[in-house]
Amino acid sequence: MKFDKGNILKKVKYVAIAVAALAVISIFSTGMWYQIEEQEEAVVVTFGEAKTVSEKGLHFKIPLIQQVRKVNTTIQGFSIGYDTATNESVDEESVMITSDYNFINVDFFVEYRISDPVKYLYASGAPEDILKNISQSSIRTVIGSYDVDSVLTTGKAEIQAAIKAMILKKLEEQDIGLALVNITIQDSEPPTQEVMQAFKAVETAKQGKETALNNANKYRNEKIPAAKAQADEIIKDAEAQKQTRINEAEAQVARFKAMYEEYEKNPVVTKQRMFFEAMEDVLPELKVIIDDGSGVEKVLPLDSFADMAGVQVQQETEVETGGK
């Protein structure tokens, strides 16, 4: 049996071409697609021009022409002043000096996220390192403007706000595609145990002072309303007594005026009436006993006596006035 070498070589050539074509197609097909997951963004570079793709899902790219780099857009963070793995202090980062020339250990944690993937990848070589350097510089600047007592106790919130504002300003100037989310003081303490104990004693005293002030304010807030209520009650009673006295005085004045008008008309009768009215008030149970020496006693009630005296006074008045 004879073999045709030409046909065999031709078939081998076709097979090789087919295999090569399949290989090329396989390479191209596998490099034509990329997937963007949640909390990811991609940067597609075409002939040196970078473009951000943030839509999630499967995307097409031109093989060998377009390159794709993905970035994590979740909130990330790093520590300053301590090692997150071992939780041990890093003295070259944590030891600082305050405005009153005291040394202090302060630990921070910085949270950030990638805000612009293109700038993050191509504006600088190590954006995280730049952010850390900016944070350390801002921290030392702000800590150096506060006294040690503020850093340890009462000024932490104000210090954090000042540091955050300074970092945000410097990041805006650098424009490296990173955004600061937050920076917090994890811990602050003096560098030696003796100083630490002294500051703890000061803090305890301050807390005692605050407790005493709070208790005093509470007592004041409880007593002041009661005192005001009592004062209002006293004022109301005084006003009521004042009005009662005024009413009584006005009634007495009116009574006096009426009596004076009657007195001007009949002075004698008015005097007698006033006398008998006074006697009735002073001696309401008075009885008059007349003894003429004969042993016969006559008991006259005061009312009858008063009536008789009134009649007699009236008769005498009529005689004096001529029966008018």
Query: Is pLDDT larger for residue 277 or for residue 319?
Result: 277
Distance from first CA to last CA of the chain, Å, rounded?
A: 189
Q: How confident is the model at residue 322 (pLDDT cuts 50, 70, 90)?
A: very low
Statement: residue 303 has pLDDT above 90: no
- Give the H or E element holding residue 237: helix 193-265
Give the whole-number percent of the chain exceeding pLDDT 70: 74
Query: Is pLDDT larger for residue 201 or for residue 48?
Result: 48
Statement: residue 217 has pLDDT above 80: yes
Q: What was the pLDDT predicted at 166?
A: 96
Q: What was the pLDDT predicted at 269?
A: 76
196 in Cβ contact with 189 (< 8 Å): yes
Please state whether beta strands 57-60 and 33-36 pair in parallel, antiparallel, or not at all (unpaired): antiparallel
CA dist list (Å): 15 to 19, 22, 23: 6, 10, 12
Residue 67 phi, psi dihedral angles, 5° rounding: -115, 145
CA dist list (Å): 302 to 272, 289, 299, 307: 14, 10, 9, 8
Average pLDDT score over residue span 294-315 = 50
Q: How confident is the model at residue 1 (pLDDT cuts 50, 70, 90)?
A: very low
Tokens encoding 20: 């090569």
Measure the CA–CA gap between 217 and 213, rounded to whole angstroms: 6
Measure the CA–CA gap between 180 and 139, rounded to whole angstroms: 14
pLDDT in tens, 52-87: 888 888 888 877 788 888 999 999 999 999 998 898
Q: What was the pLDDT predicted at 316?
A: 46
pLDDT in tens, 90-127: 889 998 989 988 888 999 999 999 999 999 999 888 99
Indicate the angle between helix axes 267-282 and 302-320, nearest 10 degrees: 170
